[in-house]
Amino acid sequence: MFPSPVPIYTDGSDAEDHVSSAFVIRHRKKRNIHHQTQLSLAANAIILAGVVCVWLQPCDLPSPQFTRDTLKGHSRPESSSRSAFLDQRDTLWMRSAGAWRDAGLHGLLDEITNSAEEVPRFLAVGSACVLALLRWASSFHGSLFPHLTLSSDEMVAEFSQMLDWSDSALRSFAWHPHTDKFAVALLDDSIRIYKSNSSATPTLKHRCQRSVCALQWKPLCGSALAVACQSCLLIWHVDPTSLSTRYCSNTSVSLSLSLSLSLSVSPITSIAWSPTGSLLVSASPVDTAMMVWDVAAESAVPLQRVGGGGVTYLSWSPDGSRLLAATPSALFRVWETRMWTCERWPCLKGSCQSACWSPDGGCLLLSMQGERVIYALTFSDLTGGSKAASVVADLSETSFPGPDGDLTVGGEVCSLSWDPRGERLAVLLKGDSQAVNHPSVIAVFKTRSSPVFELLPCGFVMGEAGAEPRFMQFHPHFQHGALLTVCWSDGRISHVPFYFSSAGLLGGDSPQQALASNTADHSSNKLYTEQIS
């Protein structure tokens, strides 16, 4: 048993100072942050006994493991594999057409410049000049927005929610919002779908499905899965009753792949379905416009705002009233979805890395690149919400006596996830790969939103030796509490349950027996956490 953590209450002034240093306040006006609980790991060394390593499988959810060796990536473009074959000289026309198809105008100009002896001199010189001009322009543009100089794959790796995307066997993960099934995108650009109580795992493959960066199931629908790829947006229809285990676009286009929405920009790094399932928003870091798709009608409305240099991350509030759009620069926007106007939120430091909404859509938690704190924004239809983000948690490094010597926990907040009932918050903290005993961990907090917003430390989730968490997502409708699914660096997917009864329903003490394990126990015991009312 570990002692129940004691939250540290600070008065508002501390938090507010933090805020004003980190954020440009929108209206140059300070607002009284209502009684806010700020939590810091350093002050809470008392929870160190709660370092819990969990390795257990609840229910019958599949937890597959993928290793890099079994999956062969073929992410290289077709043109680069040509060098492996005998050099057969195509005609200039063929090569130009191929270059145009593979790499667009840039490739065409490159091809013409490279084959200077075959083309008229003025053409070669002209294309070289245009190419130089293009490069100069793009480098100028790139100096304004450094992310534009990245290649497409690097950009996906940079802005994907899956940490260390390029190195990982798992590329993306998504729970179905209503049923016990999830989709996993893998290194070999295929997508597999796992269901509970079913051994069939349909595999989705498509020629255009490369460098999958994000997956999301359509809400209020049994079958539709949106996939953000390097060059397009794919919508699959995976028939829930079908026994077919392999979907390839070549064989059954009309059946499985409903459509691919090609875009002029690439890559797409984030997609978000509206909670009613009617709209799909897609965004790319190279395009300042995000596209709002009416998927069934195959029509899109671009929503463009100048500034920011692109859109990297989208998150729709669970009630559907707001949409967060993060940009690669130090700026993010919150759109309201009734008339689609947006609030600009400039921040002084890095870009917004990850965010999550409270279930009622009234509170948004954010993490910034390179920062070790969690910010909170509140929204309200009546008062208009907060004018500045407040710091709700400070997650700097702290050392805890763990099972195997001291353990340093804390660091940059890479990912945030809030369970659908709003009672558990998982925070992925980046470790230091150089230092010993400073791994990446997932810190779990209990949360309460009424009467005041509170974060109470609950415990840590760590992997097996050498395995670091890369991605996490809560199960959308776990009956007995919350279920956190974690993708690990060793290619494993595991499910971590938190059994509790909802405080909102009962308001009293949990009848469940509180049971905590405080050792690294790899056997299949369950982690019960206490109900703190």
Partner 1 sequence: MQYLGDKGVVIWRAVASIAWSVLLLPVTATVFVLLSRFSPFHPIQWISDCTSLLAASSTIFSLVVLCGVVLITGFFNLEFYTLVPSIPCSRMALLGTVLHPRQCVHSLVYCTMGMLVMWCASVTIGGRYSTLGTPCRQSQSGEVVTCLNEYHLFILLAGAFMGYSHSFLGVVQNMYYVSFQPIQQYKYPRFKGCLPMVVKCSVIQALYSARNFAAFYFFFGYAPKTWISSTLNLQIDSSLQPLDSLTGFLDFSLLYHLSISGTFLYLTWYLTVLLFRIYVTEAYSFPVQSTFTEDAEQCLPKVLAEKNTLVMKFLALQDLALLSQHSLSRRLEVFSLSQPGGHAHNWNAISRECLSLLSELTQRLVAHQDAIASNGRVKSQSASSDTRSASSSCSGKESYLVSGTEDIAETPRLSVPLRTPGSVFKSSVGDVDSPFSSPAIRRLVGQQDPQSPCFGTVQSPHIMRRGPKLWSASTGLSHLVAASFSEDQFGVVQTTLPNILSCLVVLLEAVDRHFKLPHASSKPVRTICSMGDSTYKTLRFALRAALKTAIYKITTTFGEHLNAVNISTEHRKRLQQFLEFKD
Binding site for partner 1 (CB under 8 A): 176, 178-179, 220-223, 240-241, 254, 259, 276-279, 289, 292, 294-299, 301-304, 320-321, 337-341, 505, 507
Q: 150 vs 259, which CB is nearer to partner 1?
A: 259
Rounded to the nearest whole angstrom, what is the least distance from the CB of residue 294 to partner 1 in the complex?
A: 4
Spacing of C-alpha 8 from chain mean position:
30
Cα→Cα distances 412→354, 432, 487, Å: 11, 10, 18
On whether the CB atoms of residues 177 and 315 are closer than 8 A, the answer is no
Rounded to the nearest whole angstrom, what is the least distance from the CB of residue 339 to partner 1 in the complex?
A: 5
Spacing of C-alpha 175 from chain mean position:
13
Beta bridge partners of 405: 402
Rounded to the nearest whole angstrom, what is the least distance from the CB of residue 304 to partner 1 in the complex?
A: 6
CA atoms within 13 A on the CB side of 89: 4
Token code pair at residue 37 = 């609980």
Q: 121 vs 338, which CB is nearer to partner 1?
A: 338
Rounded to the nearest whole angstrom, what is the least distance from the CB of residue 289 to partner 1 in the complex?
A: 8
On whether the CB atoms of residues 351 and 331 are closer than 8 A, the answer is yes
Q: 337 vs 489, which CB is nearer to partner 1?
A: 337
Q: 65 vs 304, which CB is nearer to partner 1?
A: 304
Cα gap 310→239, rounded to integer Å: 35
Tell me the DSSP string of 286-305.
Answer: T-SEEEEEETTTTEEEEEE-
Token code pair at residue 179 = 């049923």
Q: 119 vs 290, which CB is nearer to partner 1?
A: 290
Q: 78 vs 294, which CB is nearer to partner 1?
A: 294
Q: 181 vs 210, which CB is nearer to partner 1?
A: 181
Spacing of C-alpha 380 from chain mean position:
25
Q: Are strands 405-409 and 398-402 parallel, antiparallel or unpaired?
A: antiparallel
Rounded to the nearest whole angstrom, what is the least distance from the CB of residue 247 to partner 1 in the complex?
A: 17
Rounded to the nearest whole angstrom, what is the least distance from the CB of residue 320 to partner 1 in the complex?
A: 8
Tell me the DSSP string of 215-275.
Answer: EEEPTT-SSEEEEE-SSEEEEEE--TT----EEETTT-HHHHEEEEEE-SS----EEEE-T
Q: Are strands 170-175 and 181-186 parallel, antiparallel or unpaired?
A: antiparallel
Q: 270 vs 351, which CB is nearer to partner 1?
A: 270
Rounded to the nearest whole angstrom, what is the least distance from the CB of residue 50 to partner 1 in the complex?
A: 31
Lay out the sheet containing 454-462: strands in order across: 51-53, 454-462, 441-448, 424-429, 413-418
Rounded to the nearest whole angstrom, what is the least distance from the CB of residue 365 to partner 1 in the complex?
A: 25
Token code pair at residue 458 = 């609950």
Cα gap 273→293, rounded to integer Å: 9
Between the two ends of the chain, the Cα-to-Cα distance in Å is 18
Q: 302 vs 401, which CB is nearer to partner 1?
A: 302
Tell me the DSSP string of 444-458.
Answer: EEEEE-SSS-EEEEE
Rounded to the nearest whole angstrom, what is the least distance from the CB of residue 287 to partner 1 in the complex?
A: 13
